Amino acid sequence: MLDKLNSAEKRLEEINGSLSDPEVINDQSRYKALMKEHKQLTPIVDKFRLYKKAKAEFEEAEGILSESGLDKEFKEMAQQQLNAAREDTEKFEEELKILLLPKDPDDDRNVIVEIRGGAGGDEAALFANSLYRMYSLYAQSRNWKTEVIGANPTELGGYKEISFSVEGEGAYAKMKYESGVHRVQRVPETEAQGRIHTSTITVAVLPEMEEVDVEINPADIEIQTFRSSGAGGQHINKTESAIRIIHHPSGTIVECQEERSQIKNKEKAMKMLYSKLYEAKLNEQTDKIAAERRIQVGTGDRSERIRTYNYPQSRVTDHRIGLTIYKLDAFMNGDCDEVFEALAIADRAAKLAGSENTK
């Protein structure tokens, strides 16, 4: 580990020198790549320097305590320094182990989110809208941009399904744990007797891919056009601007009807297709990858759940890590970081344990 950390520190110093070189500054692609590497290395090197400082303080205190003829007060001070430095050294060492874990190469990508109603009919569709609003507010709080790709609204104001993109730094790193089945327990607006209903929706979070990431043979896809429609099947566009793309080898179908322009709808649909094929490719490559991306979309059955939203108790429970918070209103208004961070920490801890077990 120390060899890796020393190399990282040396590399960061090299990058700092290069970033002030006029030749590098004028080469935008190289400058951008160095800035990205600088950003990745800085937290590791900063923590490593804190670790080295704590270790030096520990060794200094250890040396003092080994001397003979120390007065009692000075010895107590040295012992306090030794204890504090030992605690810091151990803490920084554990944090460095986590920082050195291999990073998910997709973490910095934008994402495509798909929300679909599962069990519960109209109430599931209404909750799909609630989750779409939650993710939109969360994205807004981080100054990310959201854009609807396709939607199938209901007459009551819900969505049978909705897909949208989220553009922003680290969007996938934050949102990738949202894939799975979400369960809601609440009294529906349509329930006259005040009974609590349980409904489910499924969420899929895909890293947004481009042509360079996934190769698609044009002969393998079929592009269809149709008229955009609204809730209840009412046509809201008289021209066939909506796009449906079928990838025959995989059977994957994507649609986009949000733009008035057929070209823009095609661009959005192709982005979604690239992302879906990339995700399918990863899941086929190895069971290990599928295990790491363990939060997969299920069938929408009530028994398959990653999180429960209980309105009567104002409770949000994430079943994967056993975390419960009683701040449902704040969570649904986009204040999601407490849960999202807890999931990321649990994932890193599991990966760290896995890496240590393989040593």
Helix (H, G, I), strand (E, B) or coil at 280: helix
Q: Model confidence over 202-214: pLDDT tens digits?
A: 998 988 876 556 7
State mean pLDDT over 279-305: 52
Q: Distance between CA 199 and CA 301 in Å, rounded?
A: 9
pLDDT value at 34 more than 70: yes
User: Considering just the CA atoms, what is the radius of gyration of the chain in Å?
Assistant: 26
**pTM higher than 0.75:** no
Q: What is the mean pLDDT of the chain?
A: 83
Task: Of 6-15, 130-139, 168-177, give the range with the top mean pLDDT.
Answer: 130-139
Contact 17, 24 (CB under 8 A): no
DSSP structure class, residue 269: H
pLDDT at 177: 92
CB atoms within 10 A of CB 153: 18
- Residue 331 has phi, psi (to 5 degrees) of -60, -45
Contact 177, 350 (CB under 8 A): no
pLDDT value at 293 more than 80: no
Of 76-90, 119-133, 177-191, 278-292, where does mean pLDDT reach its minimum?
278-292
Detail the DSSP E strand segments found in the chain. Answer: 111-117, 145-153, 159-167, 180-186, 197-207, 221-226, 242-247, 252-256, 307-310, 315-318, 323-325
Domain 111-349 is found in CATH 3.30.70.1660: yes
Q: Model confidence over 159-203: pLDDT tens digits?
A: 998 989 999 988 999 999 998 899 999 887 666 667 888 999 999
pLDDT value at 10 more than 50: yes
Q: Distance between CA 345 and CA 325 in Å, rounded?
A: 17
**Cα angle, residue 333 at apex, residues 107 and 312 outer, rounded to 5°:** 120
Which residue's entry shows tokens 């393989």?
A: 358
- Dump the DSSP string for 96-116: HHHHTSPPPTTTTS-EEEEEE
Report residue 134's pLDDT band, with 50, 70 and 90 as the boundaries: very high
Q: Distance between CA 203 and CA 118 in Å, rounded?
A: 10
Q: Which structure tokens are listed for 19?
A: 């970033």
pLDDT value at 231 more than 60: no
Domain 2-99 is found in CATH 1.20.58: yes
Q: Model confidence over 301-325: pLDDT tens digits?
A: 444 689 999 999 999 999 999 999 9
State mean pLDDT over 43-67: 91
Q: Model confidence over 320-351: pLDDT tens digits?
A: 999 999 999 999 999 999 999 999 888 888 87
Task: Of 41-50, 99-108, 186-195, 298-307, give the range with the top mean pLDDT.
Answer: 41-50
Q: Distance between CA 258 and CA 243 in Å, rounded?
A: 10
> Is residue 179 within a helix (H) or strand (E), and if so which, with residue range?
none
Domain ranges of the chain: 2-99, 111-349
State mean pLDDT over 206-235: 71
pLDDT at 298: 44
Report residue 292's pLDDT band, with 50, 70 and 90 as the boundaries: very low
